[in-house]
Amino acid sequence: MNEVRTAVLGAGSWGIAVANLLRKNSYEVSIWEFDSEACRYLQTHRELPAKLPGIKVDEAITITNNLAESVRSADYVFCAVPAQYLRSALVGSQLTDSGTKPVYVNLAKGIEVGSLMRMSEVIAERVPVEARSGICTLSGPSHAEEVARDIPTAVTVAADDIRIAEKIQNLFLTTNFRVYTTGDLAGVELAGSLKNVIALAAGMLDGLGLGDNTRGALITRGLAEIVRLGAKLGADPLTFSGLAGIGDLVTTCLSKHSRNRYVGDQIGRGKKLEEVLSGMAMVAEGVETTRSARDLALKYHVEMPIAFEVYKVLFENKSPQKAIGDLMRRDQKQEKWG
């Protein structure tokens, strides 16, 4: 039996957590870090205290700044690059000479600004079909800080071809990391991306000192918006009841690990977006995805009042208090999910 070779593109907290997880199953693992200085630091210290404190990168994992070297002979390529940088990271000329046709596994949760593409669509556009054997997305309630510490976690892997999803399911067969499969790639990617917008709103509520009633209403009505847009874009509404949907939504809205909830919390406390982001070591995917969510809602005529208010707070200097007031004063209506 040939040894399984894997490459992880992106040496942030999630990339490191996934790389270590793969190594526990004795696969050959390479991590690509695009920044040469950061790469040298990681090669020397085998840890990233600013993003994943207390976690060491397994000594058997190769760390490189050379993309072509990282993916050479890989059977699986895991894309842990933030959503808005994935396109520029996938340099086709360095991916086509790998000697194999790997399965590309997206790990990012976001929708590209401008193109409004999901991450699997970006991969499909950037990696020639002759240089890959499949594309899928792994998503769900899976904070890197907990996965890296072997805290039991369950996620979903989605692919248009369910056989590709099953390959990834088998790849991650471990005691503390359980993977389910689905054929609803659009639903899983939209769920994972749009929940970050609602998490920003949840953080704003926390920053304002509001209560559980408000948070419960936000999560429920936020899910309704996600389902509406997802259904319009061809996703199965039931997907949003699963791990990638309500599971990840609730986790991200409540967790101390959530970057998006943190950004919202700081804005609720009176800070400006630029000030909050400048003090963060990691990327809050929901900020830019809020732009994409608004644009998708406008393009497809989908009612998403919470997402629109989050957009106004982030980018039009509207106060969170005013946003909540405007949401509460909307015309009365029946509770519907469609």
Rg of the chain (C-alpha set): 20
Residues 226 and 305 in one domain: yes
Collect all residues with Cβ–Cβ distance below 8 Å to 336 and sequence separation of at least 6.
224
**Catalytic residue check, 256:** no
Residues 162 and 286 in one domain: no
Residues 193 and 163 in one domain: no
In a domain, 321, yes or no: yes
Rounded to whole angstroms, the Cα distance separating 59 from 160 reads 35
134: left (phi over 0), alpha (psi -120 to 50) or beta: left
Q: Which of 101, 109, 167, 195 is catalytic?
A: 195
SS3 135: strand
Tens digits of per-residue pLDDT, 245-272? 999 999 999 999 999 999 999 999 999 9
Tens digits of per-residue pLDDT, 10-23? 999 999 999 999 99
Residues 209 and 105 in one domain: no
User: Per the structure, how many domains does the chain have?
Assistant: 2
Last residue of a domain, which of 183, 207, 237? 183
Domain containing 134: what range? 5-183
Residue 338: pLDDT band with limits 50, 70, 90: low
Rounded to whole angstroms, the Cα distance separating 333 from 330 reads 9
Tens digits of per-residue pLDDT, 266-303? 999 999 999 999 998 888 999 999 999 999 999 999 99
**φ and ψ at residue 77, rounded to 5 degrees:** -120, 120
Q: Whole-model pTM?
A: 0.96
Residues 208 and 283 in one domain: yes
Residues 190 and 166 in one domain: no
Residues 294 and 191 in one domain: yes
The pLDDT value recorded for residue 100 is 84
Residue 325 has pLDDT above 60, yes or no: yes
Residues 215 and 308 in one domain: yes
